[in-house]
Amino acid sequence: MIEVEGLTKRYGDFPAIQDVSFKVEKGQVLGFLGPNGSGKTTTMRILTCFMPATSGTARVCGYDIFEDSMEVRRNIGYMPENVPLYPNLRVNEYLSYRARLKGLGRSQRRKEIAELVDRCSIGDFDRVIIGKLSKGMRQRVGLAATLLGGPPVLVLDEPTVGLDPNQIREILGLIKGLGGERTIIFSSHILPEVEMVADHLAIIREGRIALTGSLEQITRAAGGSKVRIEARGDGQKIRDAVEKVSGVRKAVLGSRDGLAVLEVEVAAGTDAREGLVKAVAGAGGGLLELSCGRTSLADVFVRITATEG
């Protein structure tokens, strides 16, 4: 559905993005992650034909973004950061204006606007002047306008920025509901949001794609998993035994209330739990608790965007 190959954009000598490539299949929700200023918006602006890239190509729905810009724009719903609307128009006027710009006929316009007002829970606000709306409501109006005409691809630039937690949840819920039916790219620098909604990730750092893949793949490949063990007994001895279990990379010993607490890092793709239980028992420890946790996305993100390189 979306294929990006080797996109590079320079502002003068400054490279905003370099050799960005990724793919999004139909129905996928791609979380586009990266610290501020890493090139998320630039990539999205190129994809939506706002400006061309210095080099590289991209195809949306099979149309080249440079050669078939008009077709690409018909197939993409783009919501820029901060959702600029016209504050002097009423919500329904604005939606009708956008629908007409997108070439919707009268009957389809009415039908779609009614549907979207309902779907984005704009409800009674559809006759309110946009300038008087709250930020969250404005975001919903923006999303509704983006959905007009049923574009199969949605590109949402930081759709949750500046919203309160309840509004964030609502917007994310809406986006999640659209996944499967539409192909979605949305950018964010807030990890839990991406984890909640996206099934695929592209992490961008200093203008380069640092990592792409499904949520599972990324956490597994980059992180492995963590096991936490609480046991009664000689901590040192238990740790030595645990470190010998195959697949264990590292075990850090701590203590709490006189109990030994081990944070064990297990290599990706191995299940070391059984071995760990035996090792603890073999070292004469009494196993009280063993809990598994995936490395959180936050760990991966921090490691990729901060420490590496």
**CB-wise, 43 or 75, nearer to other proteins?**
75
**CB-wise, 40 or 59, nearer to other proteins?**
59
Per-residue exposure over 14-47, b if at least 16 CB sit within 10 Å of its own CB, e if not: ebbbbebbbebeeebbbbbbbeeebbbbbbbbbb
d(CA 260, CA 268): 25
């030595």: which residue's tokens? 240
Q: What's the closest the beta carbon of residue 82 comes to other proteins, in angstroms?
A: 6
Write out the H or E segment, with its range, that includes residue 203.
Answer: strand 200-205
Token pair listed for 231:
């046991």
23-42: contacts with other proteins (CB under 8 A) = 26
110 binds other proteins (CB under 8 A): no
Angle of helix 135-147 versus helix 165-178 axis, rounded to 10: 10
**CB-wise, 84 or 177, nearer to other proteins?**
84
Q: What's the closest the beta carbon of residue 154 comes to other proteins, in angstroms?
A: 12
161 binds other proteins (CB under 8 A): no
Q: What's the closest the beta carbon of residue 83 comes to other proteins, in angstroms?
A: 9
DSSP per residue over 263-308, as a string? Answer: EEEE-TT---HHHHHHHHHHTT-EEEEEEEEEPPHHHHHHIIIII-
Choose the binding region for other proteins from 143-151, 215-223, 241-249, 254-262 (rule: CB under 8 A). Answer: 143-151
**CB-wise, 88 or 255, nearer to other proteins?**
88
38-67: contacts with other proteins (CB under 8 A) = 45, 48-52, 59, 61-63
The answer to whether 295 and 219 have CB atoms below 8 angstroms apart is yes
**CB-wise, 77 or 247, nearer to other proteins?**
77
Cα of first residue to Cα of last residue in the chain, in angstroms, is: 32
Residues that bind other proteins (CB under 8 A): 1, 26, 45, 48-52, 59, 61-63, 70-71, 73-76, 78, 80-82, 84-86, 88-89, 93, 97-98, 100-105, 108, 145, 149-152, 181
